[in-house]
Amino acid sequence: MYLAKVIGNVVSTQKDSKFIGTKLLLVQRIDARENPIGDVIVAVDTVGAGINEIVLVITGSGARLVYEDRNVPADASIIGIVDNIEVDDRIYNE
């Protein structure tokens, strides 16, 4: 699981039937101080996140565990929206 910032939407009118009704978002991994690191990926939004929000992302086989149907072909899922991050007595994302 890691922190990421939502930086965009992905619109796909043709997709696997298991993704119908889902929202796909572009997320950029960040460090605890909100500095971008790593690649931008597409993640399935399970919590109603929006652009510029900091979120929790799970990847790999764990990304499918949030769905009742464990055969969903998801490799990244957004599982939480972060209220704030506290590091060394400084609070980020307020």
For 41-87, write each residue's pLDDT tens digit. Answer: 999 999 999 999 999 999 987 777 776 666 677 889 999 999 988 88
What pLDDT is attached to residue 94?
A: 60
Q: Bridge partners of 56?
A: 3, 80
Rounded CA separation 86/91 (Å): 4
More confident residue, 73 or 16: 16
Instruction: Say which CATH class 2-86 falls into.
Output: mainly beta
Q: What percentage of residues in the chain have a pLDDT greater than 70? A: 91
As a residue count, the chain comes to 94
What are the residue ranges spanned by the domains of the chain?
2-86
Task: Give percent above pLDDT 90 in the chain.
Answer: 55
In the beta sheet, which residues pair with residue 88? Answer: none
Strand spans (E) along the chain: 2-10, 23-30, 36-45, 54-59, 76-81, 85-87, 90-92
Given a cut of 80, whether residue 90 has pLDDT beyond it is: no
